[in-house]
A and B are shown apart, each in its own frame.
Chain A
């Protein structure tokens, strides 16, 4: 297997340095779909998670348990459900977005929404536990408290979004089913890897995998650098 890995590294290097147009297209689509899904999931998920952390109502514990269960939602299941919804024979077929990137965004948004919501809820609930009383004393209701705590915990929320992004860009089950892995239209990195694997071109498949990991690593590194710069900036302002 050692030879196999060496071949994969060589394949990965060739892919990256070759600036293959089709690879660029696939990478671009992966980033676009997953980033869009994360942006949508972040918008709704953070609001829902923060609200859930602060609000109290009968059945609250059941809702939190249900949300945490959705963290384990298998991507194939999401793909299947979204496929049935978007199929021409399904309730939302009239939109005609099956087998297009839009369907993939929908599926991935549904997949990572619980991730964002559950992690946000945990984060905000911890902040609320210590400080909720003071916020209420100042006149903050549920919505204002949720919003202020989101603002207060914004740095930690970056990690939540990155986690969701990682989940989205690495999943294959959902985008395969609702996208169809159509060459040049809905082929993303993970479905390309699946295809090359089933064709038996394992070095290329692994090479693509290495490129994918490298990409996510680069994004994480970039975010970390920006946060470092922000921190240094705040320190300087502190003087």
Chain B
């Protein structure tokens, strides 16, 4: 009878799916909340297997915006945080949700824009570059999602004496989206956009976009790791999470970070305190 065959088939697939879940539950693992830009840079695919080999611990990464990642950790849904917004991270520790914050590495932001560069921003200085974009009214895509990148973008606008909250320049558009989608939009509308180098290097849909501004010291983006405080959430796997935090700032972890390259170029620069 048809229903019987179908039921057997469905049951078989269910059992297979369940077996996967059960097997997963038995491994040692922690949940790490990080950002979409970090995951999309490909760093984790390089770094986490090294950690697994050293410790036998699986790290399960959920990639969200920085704000969401911190919220998830506040709710106790993650064991460790790996984000890049020092101000928000310090606040997180001050609120008692995180144990000590350890600096790990930095990467940098770059200003991407159309190859033709109508606003003539190309160079090494971010403040005048953004001022020119605002003056020209050239199209600019903002992530607008309270992420670390978005927070950085707002800081740079302040440096250029442009108050986007009060009066956004003509051509300024916030998409409320991740780095990849923002680049997609910029590619299809020939706009300027502030991106992290990692996502840009991995981004395949460039159309007419090119890297225009880089190297300004103010464009550096500092990463920190924090273990979620077990006093607030007793179920947190504090020991395993601490093992990760300790490893990533150790010489072995730092070397692994430095060893991650795209097209021969390093993406992240380890700077854990010695």
Task: List the interface of chain A (C-beta within 8 A of B).
Answer: 28-29, 31-33, 35-36, 38-39, 87-90, 93, 96, 98-102, 105, 154-155, 157-158, 161, 180-183, 185, 195, 197-202, 223, 226-227, 230
From A89, A185, A199, contact of B204 by CB (8 A): A199
From A36, A93, A183, A230, contact of B17 by CB (8 A): A36
- Of the A-B pairs whose beta carbons lie under 8 Å apart in the complex, a sample of 26, sorted by A's number, is A32-B13, A35-B13, A36-B13, A36-B18, A39-B10, A87-B77, A89-B75, A89-B77, A93-B76, A96-B235, A101-B24, A105-B17, A180-B31, A182-B61, A185-B60, A195-B40, A197-B184, A198-B36, A198-B178, A200-B180, A200-B183, A200-B187, A200-B202, A200-B204, A227-B2, A230-B1
Residues on B with C-beta less than 8 A from A201 are 204-205
The reply on B274 being an interface residue by CB < 8 A is: no
Residues on A with C-beta less than 8 A from B3 are 154, 157-158
Chain B 165-198 near chain A by CB (<8 Å), digits 1 or 0 = 0000000000001111101100100000000000
Interface size on B, residues (CB 8 A): 45
Contact B62 A199 (CB under 8 A): no
The reply on B99 being an interface residue by CB < 8 A is: no
Q: Which residue of A is nearest B5, CB measured? A: A226
Q: Which of B61-76 contact A (CB under 8 A)?
A: 61-63, 75-76
Residues on A with C-beta less than 8 A from B199 are 199
Known A90-B75, A199-B40; 16 more pairs at CB < 8 Å: A28-B20, A32-B16, A39-B14, A88-B75, A88-B77, A99-B62, A180-B31, A180-B60, A180-B62, A183-B44, A183-B45, A197-B184, A200-B205, A223-B6, A226-B2, A230-B1
Contact A28 B17 (CB under 8 A): yes
From B18, B36, B205, B235, contact of A88 by CB (8 A): B235
From B5, B36, B184, contact of A200 by CB (8 A): B184
Bound CA span A1–B177, Å: 24
Q: Which residue of B is nearest A83, CB measured? A: B77
Bound CA span A154–B4, Å: 11
Residues on B with C-beta less than 8 A from A100 are 21, 24-25
Bound CA span A227–B5, Å: 11
Majority secondary structure, A binding face: helix
Bound CA span A133–B12, Å: 40
Query: Nearest Cβ in chain A — how far from B188, in angstroms?
Result: 11
Residues on A with C-beta less than 8 A from B181 are 197-198
Contact B20 A32 (CB under 8 A): yes
Given contacts A88-B77, A199-B202, contact A154 B2 (CB under 8 A): yes
Contact A198 B11 (CB under 8 A): no
Contact A36 B14 (CB under 8 A): yes
From A90, A98, A157, A181, contact of B63 by CB (8 A): A181
From A88, A93, A99, A161, contact of B6 by CB (8 A): A161
Residues on A with C-beta less than 8 A from B18 are 32, 36
Residues on A with C-beta less than 8 A from B76 are 87-89, 93
Residues on A with C-beta less than 8 A from B101 are none
From A31, A87, A99, contact of B13 by CB (8 A): A31
Bound CA span A8–B16, Å: 30
Bound CA span A28–B184, Å: 30
Bound CA span A32–B15, Å: 8
Given contacts A88-B76, A99-B77, A182-B60, contact A198 B40 (CB under 8 A): yes
